[in-house]
A and B are shown apart, each in its own frame.
Chain A
Amino acid sequence: MSEHAAPISPGQAVNEVVARAWRVLDSVTDPEIPVVSLKELGVLRDIRQDSDGISVVITPTYSGCPAMHQMEEDIQAALVREGIAAKVVTQLAPVWTTDWITEAAKQKLLDYGIAPPHATLHGQSGENAGHAADGPRAGSAVPIRIKARRQSLHEVDSAPVVCPHCGSENTTETSHFGSTACKALYRCLDCREPFDYFKPF
């Protein structure tokens, strides 16, 4: 903890700053999808007091997501506006998954015209049972999944994607990759509208 931030009852004051930071960052949204917050997306993992100040912990989505840098800057800017000094720390493990997107955020995506992601195969079945998405890895266990994976190596998702405009399940994929790596391009065969699908990841 820096000397400036060492008041008489450090614990309480620190908690206040952390709590305030959480409130501030509630309003910081994804640069590409401005209706959902970084917290709702699961990108914002933690805000904590380290020995040298407040750290905001984020986890990257796709390795090549160009929005990650913007997210860091947006977080910094929002905190600075509120007079909170913090550094942004990137944490790789556990690895981000679309299963962390909150139900409320999925509804917001839908209202915004983006079909929200299905649960990953990971979350649906016992596939990759050797390690849980949000828990510690289970040693060197390589059980069962050898068999299960044949399917899943290239067949990523087979459930119908519902059109966010008219609710039809009669949709088709135009391209695996849409305007960003995290989305696929779809079109609805009933209402004829194109739309983005947030891919399970």
Chain B
Amino acid sequence: MDRTPYLLHLADNALILGQRNAEWCGHGPVLEEDIALANMSLDLIGQARLLYQEVAKDRGQDCTEDSLAYFRDTAAFRNYTLLELPHSSPVVGYGHAEPDYGVTIVRNFLYSALMVLVWEALQQSKDKTLAAIAEKSFKETRYHLRHSRDWLVRLGDGTDESHRRMQEAVDYLYGFTQEFWTRHPVEEEAVQAGIGVDVSGLRVDWDEIVDSALAEATLRKPAEGGYVSQGKFGHHSEHLDYVLHEMQSLARAHPGATW
């Protein structure tokens, strides 16, 4: 079977969140957080690179990790929509809002709570390289989860202002996690082949992690329903265009540049 669509989904998730979180580099709320976010971005981009390198091996010819990151367009990316959203309350189109660290923390928490489970399960993948990448990524993601969970509790159970903003961030982002559980042929094929994990089967464990953290943070879990995003099918929000333009512009303006 062709494992590359599945690997691309995992890699795009890591790359896009890594790129998003890197926006805080030099702008973090405090120095320690600036450094923490940059470190986690490096982990995520490192995970993406390992996966893109595997895709490039399979596809051969001119395919490289760089061509996958820099020379694919929006519709070719297969990341969850959650990961491409700006660090702010809802904005439309080119609308701009002040970055909100609450949104950053809640997103990192919701995603790393999923990924500890995904990477843990993928250690049993029949694809030995993917299993090895998963083992390493699992360890990293545990630290990411610890970081975001600590801040979720600290800010949720903090001042009135921090509590209000965290609840707003949870209310805003939670609906996007519904995309985690929807069926996807690429994932199903990977599960059939014994190389992928059935994410919907991780729901109970994810709920347990999320519920206990939200309770500790005195935050309310929103009801489900409404629009289910479809980033993993390539149907993205307008925000991914802006992420990619910024990330890809240098490589496209100066193809093959080295420094």
Show the binding face of A for B, using Cβ within 8 Å: 60, 62-66, 92-96, 130-131, 137, 140, 142, 149-150, 152-156, 174-181, 185, 199, 201
Give Cα distance in the complex from A20 to B195, angstroms. Answer: 41
Q: Judge whether A62 and B42 touch: CB under 8 Å.
A: yes
Counting from the closest, the 3 A-B pairs by CB-CB distance are A63-B46, A64-B42, A64-B46
User: With A64-B44, A93-B131, A93-B132 as given contacts, are A181 and B139 in contact (CB-CB < 8 Å)?
Assistant: no
Q: How far is the CB of A156 from chain B (nearest CB, A)?
A: 6
Contact residues in A for B135 (Cβ distance below 8 Å): 93, 95, 131
Q: A140-B124, A149-B120, A176-B36 are in contact. Are A95 and B46 (CB under 8 A)?
A: no
Q: CB distance B142 to A181 under 8 Å?
A: no
Size of interface on B: residues with Cβ below 8 Å to A: 38
Beta-carbon contact of B142 and A63 below 8 Å: no
Given A62-B42, A64-B44, A131-B123, A201-B36 contact (CB < 8 Å): no
Q: Could you jot down 15 A-B contacts, CB within 8 Å? A: A63-B42, A63-B43, A63-B47, A63-B49, A63-B133, A64-B42, A64-B47, A95-B135, A153-B142, A154-B209, A156-B142, A156-B143, A176-B143, A176-B146, A177-B39
B128, A93: Cβ atoms closer than 8 Å: yes
Q: Cβ of A181: which chain B residues have Cβ within 8 Å of it? A: 39-40, 42-43, 140
Q: Residues of A contacting B36 with CB < 8 Å?
A: 175-177
Q: In the bound complex, do residue B147 and residue A201 qualify as a contact, i.e. CB atoms below 8 Å apart?
A: no
In the complex, how many angstroms separate the beta carbon of A87 from the nearest chain B beta carbon?
Answer: 17
Task: Tell me if A's interface is mostly helix, strand, loop or mixed.
Answer: loop
Q: How many A-B residue pairs have CB under 8 A?
A: 99
Chain A residues within 8 Å of B209, by CB:
153-154
Instruction: Kindly report which residue of chain B lies nearest to residue A121, judged by CB atoms.
Output: B142
- Tell me if B136 and A95 are in contact (CB < 8 A): yes
Residue pair A177, B147 in contact (C-beta under 8 Å): yes
A142 & B124 in contact (Cβ 8 Å cutoff): yes
> CB-CB < 8 A to A176: which residues of B?
36, 143, 146-147, 150
A133 to chain B, nearest CB (A): 10
Among candidates A65, A92, A130, A179, residue contacting B35 with C-beta atoms closer than 8 Å: A179
